[in-house]
C-alpha cells in the first residue's frame, strides 16, 4: 500500500469515527431531554418494583460518561487528522489554503503513533457505547420496574409455565400408557 493511500485511508477512518460519535452524541442529548419522573410516561403499575432515586442518578451519570467518551474519542480523531494534515504541510512547504493540492501527497508520520491514536479513539467510542447501553438499562428500569423485581416476576412466571408444561407432558404420557394398555388387551 502506498503511503498516500495509507494516509487517505486513515483520514477516511478518522472522519467515520467523528461522524458516528456525532450521531451517538445526539442520542445522548435526546436521552437527557427525557424526563424519567413523568408519571404519565411509566408502564410500571406496581409500587413494590418502583425504581429508586439512585437509578435516576445513574441514568444521568451514564449519559454524562457516554458523552465524555464520545467527545474524547472525537477530539483524539480530529487531533490525529490535523497532525496528518500538518505533517503534509511541513514536509512539502505548501500553503494550508490549498488542501486539494496536498491531498495526494504522502505524509511522513509515525505509523505506530497513528495506530495507537486510532486505537485510543476507537476505545473511547466503544466506552461511550457501553455507557449509553447502561443508560438504556436504567431507562428500562424506570419504565418497567427494577431488574431485581422483573427477574423475580420472570422466574415466577417461568416456573409456573414449566409446571404447566410438566403437567401437560405427564398427562400425555398417562394417556399414551392407557392407549397402549387398550391396544395390548
Q: Are 139 and 56 in contact (CB under 8 A)?
A: no
What percent of the chain lies above the pLDDT cut of 70?
75
Residues 95 and 168 in one domain: no
* Residue-level pLDDT at 76: 93
Residues 74 and 131 in one domain: yes
* Residue-level pLDDT at 180: 75
Q: How many helices (H) and strands (E) does the chain have?
A: 5, 0
Grid coordinates given for 144? 418497567
* Residue-level pLDDT at 70: 93
Half-sphere exposure (Cβ direction) of 56: Cα atoms closer than 13 Å = 10
DSSP letters spanning 30-75 = HHHHS-TT-GGG-----GGGPPPHHHHHHHHHHHHHHHHHHHHHHH
* Residue-level pLDDT at 98: 47
Confidence of residue 88 (pLDDT cuts 50, 70, 90): low
Residues 101 and 67 in one domain: yes
Supply the range of the domain harboring residue 160.
146-185
Q: Are 109 and 84 in contact (CB under 8 A)?
A: yes
Grid coordinates given for 29? 442529548
Q: What is the mean pLDDT of the chain?
A: 78
Give the pLDDT confidence of 21-31 residue by residue, as tens digits: 888 888 888 87
Residues 76 and 103 in one domain: yes
Residues 52 and 68 in one domain: yes
Residues 119 and 183 in one domain: no
Give the pLDDT confidence of 1-37 residue by residue, as tens digits: 555 566 788 888 888 889 888 888 888 888 777 766 6
Rounded CA-CA distance 68/153 in Å is 36
* Residue-level pLDDT at 94: 47
* Residue-level pLDDT at 47: 72
Tally of domains within the chain? 2
Rounded CA-CA distance 115/101 in Å is 25
* Residue-level pLDDT at 104: 47
Residues 92 and 180 in one domain: no
What percent of the chain lies above the pLDDT cut of 90?
18
pTM: 0.66
Residues 141 and 169 in one domain: no
pLDDT of residue 102 exceeding 50: no
Amino acid at each position: 500500500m502506498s503511503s498516500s493511500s495509507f494516509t487517505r485511508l486513515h483520514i477516511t477512518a478518522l472522519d467515520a469515527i467523528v461522524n458516528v460519535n456525532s450521531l451517538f452524541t445526539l442520542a445522548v442529548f435526546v436521552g437527557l431531554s427525557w424526563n424519567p419522573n413523568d408519571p404519565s410516561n411509566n408502564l410500571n403499575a406496581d409500587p413494590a418494583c418502583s425504581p429508586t432515586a439512585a437509578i435516576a442518578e445513574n441514568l444521568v451519570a451514564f449519559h454524562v460518561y457516554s458523552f465524555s467518551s464520545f467527545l474524547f474519542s472525537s477530539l483524539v480523531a480530529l487531533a490525529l487528522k490535523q497532525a496528518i494534515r500538518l505533517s503534509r504541510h511541513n514536509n512539502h512547504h505548501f500553503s494550508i489554503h490549498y488542501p486539494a493540492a496536498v491531498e495526494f501527497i504522502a505524509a511522513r508520520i509515525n505509523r505506530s503513533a497513528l495506530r495507537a491514536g486510532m486505537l485510543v479513539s476507537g476505545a473511547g467510542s466503544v466506552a461511550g457505547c457501553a455507557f449509553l447501553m447502561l443508560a438504556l438499562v436504567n431507562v428500562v428500569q424506570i419504565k418497567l420496574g427494577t431488574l431485581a423485581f422483573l427477574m423475580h416476576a420472570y422466574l415466577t412466571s417461568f416456573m409456573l409455565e414449566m409446571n404447566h408444561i410438566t403437567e401437560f407432558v405427564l398427562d400425555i404420557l398417562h394417556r399414551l400408557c392407557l392407549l397402549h394398555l387398550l391396544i395390548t388387551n
